[in-house]
Amino acid sequence: MSYRDITEELDKLICGKTLQYFGDWKTSLEVERNLSPHTVISYIHDVKVFFRFFRTHLGRKIELKDLELFQRGDFRNWIAGLAKHYGLKKSSRNRSFSAVKSFYHWLGDKKGIYNWNFISLEHKDDPMKRAKERHALPRPLSYDQIMKLLGNISMVNREPWIIKRNIALLTLLYGCGLRINEALSLNYGDIGGDFIKVYGKGSKERLVPVLPTVNEKINDYVRSCPHKMDPDGPLFLGVRGKKLQPAIFQKTMQDLRAELNLPETATPHALRHSFATHLLSQGGDLRTIQELLGHSSLSSTQKYLKVDLEQISKIYRKTHPRS
């Protein structure tokens, strides 16, 4: 889904100032809020679905005045429709609500256009408040499972340099706690030292220490790679010498976990969960782990404490003589 795909339908849904202001709001997401392209596309898609609902509801294109006049019942029907017609779960409905809220807040802040019926939905005492979701705990892999992955990567690809590339990438994800997109955004010139500069969500920058074994596996891969490495070019390359795409490594992990009978949660992102959980179990403090992961809020990191406590509880119940 691209912005071009979305705008082609927008012309059939909204008109006049509404279309202009929608474009201005999108620019503010990119420039003022510095959101990632993926987040921007998600937000504008959610608002487009909002427009699609009200285009059908009105039987005509949405005008600017309509955004001010929609009633509480209209908004209730829209949210109910997200579940009924689109099958969205609570987390996705909450994201849709956040996207539309962002658009309405922008209209109020920048253009003085308000809909008090929508604003009232955000009030904590309102019976229509957003569904509270139970956040699933991260599913880390055990150390033995990670060693099993590293030791059997050749099962899904026998090309020597690709095996070394996959080992290097897997070791980097686990050894530094990176997201897959962060790892694949690294350039060849970024590596080799004791730290790497990583750009996370919202282009937030952080420095992450690199273990000697991680540098060792990366150097082993670089020496075997048949393609020329450019300091300003991507570190991890695909078969044709272009930047490796996340879907390729995700497929590698999928095939590998099937071969090794590992759970479906054995994904590239599970290596990041494992990094955090294993650090915590070895005495790492939450603030340090927060910095290493690039979390803006400590609450995002605290979920790993719950995982650690859950694992301790399982061991206790399994091994205690009175359990």
Domains and CATH numbers, the chain: 3-121 (1.10.150), 143-319 (1.10.443.10)
Which is nearest to 223 in space by CA: 303, 160, 135? 160
Cα separation, 95 vs 289, in Å, equals 26
Would the CA dihedral through 251, 252, 258, 262 be positive or negative?
A: negative
Summarize pLDDT for 263-302 with one digit per residue, the tens.
888 999 999 889 888 888 888 777 888 888 887 776 666 6
Beta bridge partners of 199: 205
Q: State the catalytic residues.
A: 179, 201, 269, 272, 295, 304
DSSP 153: G
Which whole-number Å values give the CA distances from 266 to 1, 239, 252, 279, in the listed order? 26, 24, 11, 18
CA–CA separation, 74 vs 31, rounded Å? 32
Per-residue pLDDT of the chain (323 residues; tens, 9 = 90+): 555 666 678 888 998 899 899 999 999 998 888 888 888 888 998 999 999 999 998 999 999 999 999 988 888 889 888 888 888 888 788 888 889 999 998 998 888 888 888 877 764 444 444 444 455 666 889 999 999 999 999 998 889 999 999 999 999 999 999 999 999 999 999 998 899 988 877 677 888 999 999 999 999 999 999 999 999 999 999 999 999 999 999 999 999 999 999 988 899 999 988 988 888 888 877 788 888 888 777 666 666 655 555 554 554 455 545 44
Give pLDDT, residue 136.
63
Cα(16)–Cα(137) distance, integer angstroms: 45
